[in-house]
Structure 1
Amino acid sequence: MPAAEEIDGDVYVSPVYLAGSSYTGDPALRPLLEAGFTMVNDDLANAYLASSDQKVQVGWLPEGEDGCLWRITGHERPFTPPRWLATFDHYTPVEVVAAFTTALAEDDARGNHASVHGRPGGSKADPFLALMEAGWRVTHGPYVSSSQPPDRLALVSYSHGRMNHFDEINDQRSRWTIGGGASGYSSEWLDTFTTNTPTHLITATMSRLADPTPVARYKVSLPERNRGAARITPVKPPVPSPLDIQRAAVARSRSNVARTVIPSPALVYQTATAATASTRRR
């Protein structure tokens, strides 16, 4: 396998928390649109989506006023203050966001209110369980519980104790914080979830965060500090199937077959006449 610095063009990157942004929101927007979320755009190309009951609202804000690219909220009733807030910044791998929005879309398809109030029997420990099953180390302390993968290049933290709801909804504090990059404590990207964010939505996000499945990127768009730590492989051209090979062989054989030209009667007559005249001259 060639060294990472020798690979150029389209590549596969793993783990996802080192892949950086793909600079498109489509993979995370698509599940919501397919579930029936409505979308409007402003004149700056920001997109605003809402569930059919208006209780889940999603903002994709490439031209927002801060570093938050995704702002997602759940509401008890339409037009009331948010019950919970989830944020994803500009450098978050879109596959991580898509795991969250896909879970939202599935809730909407079921027609329940799990995206607002959570599922019955949910547990705060569930997101950490998903990480533990993937081999991440989990540490529980009196003030903070945290988890890191074996390479220590991502960090998930959960803050214990009471938090002011107003501070959380205004993005001043958060119960959950997720980051990834060349150093787990100096992250390339940062995401947050407030206290009332449904556990199953967080668990879906954690599961994708810990999933080793590679993601597609263009080499030059990868965060430079992550290139030495990530597993990078080139995207190979598709291998032709036996049917593809057979079709190509048939096409080549057809192109090499000489075409048989049948002379017209007029040409035969002209040729014969010319030959007769030549004989007489002799």
Structure 2
Amino acid sequence: MKRQQRNSWGPTHQQAEQHYLVEPRHLAGGGDLRHVTEYLRASGWKDRSKSRGPIVFDSPDRMVRVGFDPTTPPGGWAIRANATKYQDAWHAILGPQVPVEIVAGFTDALTKPRSAHAPDVWEPLQQRGWKTKQGAHFTATSPDGNAFMQFHRSAPGQAHWWAGARTEHGRTWDATFTPTTPMHLLQSFSAALADPQPVMRPRGHVPHSTRIRTTSVSVLPSELGTWQQARITAARAAAWARTAWATTQPRRAPAASAYASRTGSAR
């Protein structure tokens, strides 16, 4: 899996290939896993995947792990974070058919600094015309009625975040998040879920559903590679900026503390 993931995007020949722009994105199917994994790699995450085994990436501080395993029930994406001084442990499970563009809304946010603004999970949905309903659970439903996001209370003291989509064939995917999941990550997920922009899928990878709208486009492999590489370049630039900022910060306070300790004046 590692070697396959590190290959350049797309074939090297320059014959145009048929792709489809699919909307709504929540019904577009899983997509290319590299959309998620190559961004994590470019952001400095450690690839711990084994050959022919599940995909596993660890954050630089080893506090968060992102994995993808289609064979172990329930299959799909499993994201887990250890507890810290300021944050309880949390985990998220996203089915294998959650579109990678929506998964990336969540996983990309793991690589970025948290905004100073208070997060609101429902705001991106409401801005895109999703209907909200207050009942036993607070639920937002997409304008087409085929996707939802919900804060689900199953019993006193028991709750979880839940999202999903369905077609005329039944449920397509589910995603669940513990109530301790950081709100800014959930807001990034809901923003990606509600994004009205179509997503691209190659021929043969578009789900069969009358609820999907498609537009056929011819794309050169070089064009596809350029679009995908731009996303990777942005991740690398952001990772470099964070590292550069951290290494240029003054370390006067620790040095003063160490000096005071050696001279016996500390405390």
TM-score, normalising length: structure 2: 0.68
Which residue of the partner structure matches residue 110 of structure 2?
104
**Residue among 148, 152, 157 paired with 2:141:** 148
- Separation (CA, whole Å) in 2 of partners of 1:149 and 1:159: 17
SS of the residue 1:85 aligns to? strand
Distance 1:203 1:181 in 2: 21
What is the aligned counterpart of 1:189 among 165, 173, 184? 173
Distance 2:219 2:201 in 1: 15
* Cα offset, 1:98, TM superposition: 0.9
Partner of 1:62: 70
Which residue is equivalent to 1:167? none
1:231 has 2:224 as partner = no
Local SS of the residue matching 1:106: coil
Question: What amino acid sits opposite 1:215 in the alignment?
Answer: V
Q: Which residue of 60, 72, 88 corresponds with 1:52?
A: 60
Structure 1 residue 87 displacement after superposition:
1.1
Q: Of Structure 1 and Structure 2, which has the larger fraction of its residues in strand?
A: 2
Distance (whole Å) between structure 1 residues aligned to residue 44 and residue 130 of structure 2: 36
Superposed CA deviations along residues 50-74 of structure 1, whole A, max 9, x for unmatched, are 11211111112234x2132111111
1:125-144 maps to which residues of 2 (within 5 A)? 126-141=120-135, 143-144=136-137
Aligned counterparts of 1:84 and 1:197: Cα–Cα separation in 2: 5
Alpha-carbon deviation of 1:48?
Answer: 1.5
Shift of 1:213: 0.8
Distance in 2 between residues matched to 1:222 and 1:131, nearest whole Å: 25
Larger Rg: 1
State how 1:154-173 maps to structure 2 within 5 Å.
154-160=147-153, 162-163=156-157
How many residue pairs get aligned? The number is: 201
Structure 1 residue 222, shift from structure 2 partner: 2.0
Q: Partners in 1 of 2:100 and 2:82 — Cα distance?
A: 24
Q: Shift in Å at residue 236 of structure 1?
A: 3.7
| Counterpart-to-counterpart distance in 2, 1:37 and 1:162 | 38
Give structure 1 stretches of 5+ with no counterpart. Answer: 1-7, 108-113, 165-173, 239-282
Which 5+ residue runs of structure 2 have no aligned equivalent? Answer: 1-16, 221-267
- 2:83–2:90 CA contact under 8 A, matched in 1: no
Amino acid corresponding to residue 232 of structure 1 in structure 2: T
Look up the equivalent residue of 1:21 and give its one-letter code.
G
Classify 1:236/1:41 alpha carbon distance in 2 versus 1 (closer, same or farther; 3 Å).
closer
SS at match of 2:164: strand
- CA distance, structure 2, for counterparts of residue 27 and residue 134 of structure 1: 24
Q: Which residue of 2 aligns with 1:29?
A: 37
The reply to whether residue 209 of structure 1 matches residue 203 of structure 2 is: no
Aligned partner letter, 1:231: R
1:127 aligned counterpart, secondary structure: coil
In the alignment, what sits opposite 2:79? Answer: 72
Is residue 2:101 matched to residue 1:95?
yes
Q: SS in structure 2 opposite 1:200?
A: helix
1:17 aligns with 2:30: no
Over residues 247-276 of structure 1, what are the superposed CA-to-partner deviations in whole Å (9 max), with x where a residue is unaligned? xxxxxxxxxxxxxxxxxxxxxxxxxxxxxx
RMSD over aligned Cα, in angstroms? Answer: 2.5
User: Structure 1 length normalisation: TM-score?
Assistant: 0.65
Q: Percent identity?
A: 27
Letter in 1 for 2:215: T
Q: Do the aligned partners of 1:28 and 1:97 also contact (CA within 8 Å) in 2?
A: yes
Q: Which amino acid in the other structure matches residue 18 of structure 1?
A: L
Deviations 1:133-165 (A, max 9, x none): 000000011x2011111210111111136445x
Partner of 1:177: 162
Distance 1:127 1:136 in 2: 12
Aligned-pair CA distance for 1:29: 1.1
| SS of residue in 1 equivalent to 2:204 | helix
Q: Supply the distance in 2 between the matched residues of 1:183 and 1:92 (Cα, whole angstroms).
A: 17
Q: CA deviation at 1:95?
A: 0.6
Which amino acid in 2 is paired with 1:91?
Q
